[in-house]
Chain A
Amino acid sequence: MATAAKTPTKAKAAAKTAAKEAPSKSVKAKKPVMGTRTIQVDELSRVEGEGALFVRVKDGVIKECHFKIVEPPRFFEAFLKGRSYLEVPDITARICGICPMAYLMGAQQAMEDALGITITQPIRDLRRIMYCGEWIESHVLHAAMLHAPDFLGLDDALQLAATNKAVVEKALRLKKLGNDLLEVIGGGRAIHPINTRVGGFYKVPTKKALRGMMDELKWGIEASIDLAKLFGTFTFPDFEYDYHCVALHHPDHYAIVEGDVISNRGIHIPVREFHQVFQESHVSYSTALHGSSRGDNEPYLAGPNARYNLNYKQLTKLAKQTAKEIGLGEVVNNPFKSILVRMVETVYACEEALRLIKAYEEPDVAFVEGRPRASEGFGMTEAPRGVCYHSYKLDSEGRVLKAVISSPTAQNQPQIERDLYGVVERSLDLDDEALKQRCELTIRNYDPCISCSAHFLNLTMVRE
């Protein structure tokens, strides 16, 4: 069942039909180089986790193009079996140190769904503020510290700090703002926060503590607009793809923590039906499962660009205005511009957290209790890098019988390979080093979280 292990011919055909090739400004197409060419990156840097890339080209034709996840498997779905529903969110948080919220809250939602718990509006709001914190912290880490150096030809943000310290300091302060939101509500730490639980929180944060974040959030709105404008001056490779975008959608606001699953190809389903429409399969070269849609076994896109394309209308006026000023339309199909979309979402997240904090009143009840029962529950949130799905079957004591978790990077892995295929095809006239860098940049567009998906990257390029 090699649903996602795209055969080169299939990928090629799809890339040709789907990708709109824009005229290349800097490089003229040359005759294909005859012979074998291999591009291999065995340790991909500036990504979260361990991955590798292997590309083999024969007589100018791409024969193999794999984005491999080599992170050692950790078997979360297996050892969750038999654990109490109350323990699950804290355990799944350990799947990822960058986006623990996606695992805490996805699992909490699923358990609440299973037990029939309805959480209160203040708990909902506190979760959304925390998640805004995670978007800010994760987006700024990726955009400014990990992705921006690619566009500047630098090894890392520290080299950027040597020439433009103010920018790095601004990014660090903004990232800290995200972490501070997580700490204030999460019980004192941003990585694996301890204050969240099934049904709500152990202790509600005080109005005073949250109001203490307001000035910094006001600064954060301005700072994220500044960074967005700076990144807007970068040169982006010409590449567009007709993506099948998949994201959460909520009628009331730009979806983060809750909503239905929608796509730009007419899908609109509740979260519980997600795996009836999308699937994961296991390929030989990866410890992550590959996601695809069941109907056509084709890849789909999750993450900032998918969210932006589907829910643009629900962004704030200021976020839309920032997008316009940095040259983004209402639809972004250039994956390299995800860095800009992340900053637009950061503007939004700062504004949204500020709005919710202004309206915050301490609730009387920190959490809503539930009674265990034999049941099944589903949860999904928008991790910074895309939708993260959870489903659990529980026994009558609330112990896990079956756990299924789909991380955003596993879902995106086949689409990453499609993008790579298209990018390599258009860039064969680059020398190996430049092509390798272009490939790495293509992968970083996705802010891949490899620890999550293996439950990232080595590039191997073979030119024959």
Chain B
Amino acid sequence: MTEAAKKKVVKAAPKAAKAPVAAKLARAKPKVAVWKFASCDGCQLSLLACEDELLDVVGEIEIAYFLEATTAKIDGPYDISLVEGSITTEHDLHRLRKIRQESKMLITIGACATAGGIQALKNFAKVDDYIRAVYDHPEFIKTLPTSTPIKDHVPVDFELRGCPINKAELLEAISALLNKRTPNIAHTSQCIECKKKGTVCLMVAKGVPCLGPVTHAGCGNLCPSTNRGCFGCFGPSESANGPALAKQLEKLGMTKREIRDFFRSYNAHAAAFRKTSEMYDV
């Protein structure tokens, strides 16, 4: 897909940008903004990590706001807003609503923006206990009791999953949206990625616990092809049957608590994972 995405970007970047026509095209460049909420920055970094494609991509768009990469800021409205991170403060909620108003298209990038992220583990605890565990002066800290995905607060046009996102999927999404087509992003489960890649099933052959059957495809089959069971960083697949997989994990000898924690990590707040983990609350 990297190759495919690369080709599309290159194709979308005709080197015609020489003559007066280029000036017209330049004015027509879509304005792209990159926003951050509670997150580790890893997903927006994925854009800077497209080293081979970066200069081609930015040749096709106008970076209107990308605080991590540039001081330059251009006012909205924006054609595409890429949103990283989850909502954990009242202030961020207001900021998000303003960004939505100014954005024609809003794409969430990564597990935090799409599902609440690892910090959504606090949704399962009392937040005051959390603040006291980390900070000497809890009165200095203003935070909402939950970490929630962007779609819980404003309409989202497209979601990219992963902790972090797969940069090939990011390039595909940007290039598709620039060319007004639907991004070609896999909607199957990680199991299908194993079959496609010829990875022997870790669970069947070696009894290794794996969330592959219920996890969204898209990472490129990283863990199973590295002798590691999938730990669900792309979140639940569309038709995830958590309880059925959990039964299987029981048979492998996992304790209730282990099963609960297995489903309760980087996408803990995503419905299919949340519900399954709650069934195993001890």
Partner-B contacts on A (CB < 8 A) = 1, 43-50, 71-79, 81, 83-84, 87, 90-91, 94-98, 100, 141, 145-146, 149, 155-159, 161, 165, 168-169, 172-173, 175-176, 179, 187-192, 194-195, 197, 202-203, 281-285, 287, 289, 366, 451, 455
Contact = CB atoms under 8 A, between A and B. Distances in A.
B177 interface: no
Main secondary structure of the interface of B (DSSP, over half): loop
Interface string B233-277: 100000000000000000000000010010001100000000000
Rank and list the top 6 A-B pairs by shortest CB-CB distance, nearest first. Answer: A97-B42, A156-B70, A176-B51, A78-B133, A78-B130, A79-B121
Nearest to B44: A97
A87 B262 CA distance: 9
A77 B55 contact: no
Contact of A79 (B43, B68, B122): B122
Contact of A47 (B68, B147, B228): B68
B48 A96 contact: no
A203 B226 contact: yes
B52 A145 contact: no
B267 to A, nearest CB: 12
Contacts of A191: 42, 45-46, 49, 164
A377 B222 CA distance: 30
Given A47-B68, A94-B40, A97-B41, A77 B133 contact: yes
Contacts of A366: 227
Contacts of A81: 133
A192 B137 contact: no
A282 B222 contact: no
Contacts of A49: 36, 41
Given A79-B125, A83-B261, A96-B41, A189 B164 contact: yes
Contacts of B69: 45-46, 145-146, 156-158
A195 B164 contact: no
Nearest to A154: B71
Contact of A451 (B39, B118, B141, B223): B39
A194 B210 CA distance: 14
B126 to A, nearest CB: 10
B143 interface: yes
A455 B67 CA distance: 19
Contacts of B38: 71-72, 74
Contact of A284 (B41, B71, B122, B140): B140
Name the residue in B52, B63, B67 with the highest tally of chain A Cβ atoms < 10 Å from its Cβ: B67
B143 A73 contact: yes
Interface string B148-170: 00000000000000011010000
12 contacts: A45-B71, A73-B88, A73-B141, A74-B147, A77-B134, A84-B258, A96-B42, A156-B72, A158-B63, A195-B226, A203-B226, A281-B136
Interface of B: 36-46, 48-49, 51-52, 54-55, 58, 63, 67-72, 88-89, 92, 117-119, 121-122, 125, 129-131, 133-137, 140-141, 143, 147, 163-164, 166, 219-220, 222-223, 225-228, 231, 233, 258, 261, 265-266
A417 B41 CA distance: 24
Given A98-B41, A145-B48, A169 B122 contact: no
Contacts of B166: 189
A48 B117 CA distance: 18
Contacts of B143: 72-73
A91 B265 contact: yes
A194 B226 contact: yes
A270 to B, nearest CB: 25
Name the residue in B46, B71, B137, B266 with the highest tally of chain A Cβ atoms < 10 Å from its Cβ: B71
A155 B88 contact: no
A192 B223 CA distance: 12
A201 B125 CA distance: 32
A97 B46 CA distance: 9
Contacts of A91: 118, 265
A455 B220 CA distance: 30
A157 B63 CA distance: 12
Main secondary structure of the interface of A (DSSP, over half): loop
A199 to B, nearest CB: 13
Nearest to B140: A284
Contacts of B52: 172, 176
Contact of A192 (B36, B163, B258): B163
B119 A46 contact: no
Contacts of B40: 94-97, 100, 451
A75 B48 contact: no
Given A75-B133, A79-B122, A287-B141, A187 B51 contact: no
Given A73-B141, A202-B228, A94 B70 contact: no
Contacts of A197: 228
A94 B163 contact: yes
A50 to B, nearest CB: 7
Contacts of B147: 74
A46 B137 CA distance: 30
A175 B51 contact: yes
Contacts of A283: 140
A451 B85 CA distance: 11
A172 B92 CA distance: 32
A449 B54 CA distance: 22
Contacts of B46: 191
B261 A87 contact: yes
A179 B137 contact: no
A47 B140 CA distance: 24
Given A75-B119, A96-B41, A172 B222 contact: no
Contact of A155 (B36, B37, B70, B227): B70
Contact of A179 (B51, B89, B117): B51
Nearest to B133: A78
A192 B42 contact: yes
Contact of A73 (B70, B134, B219, B226): B134
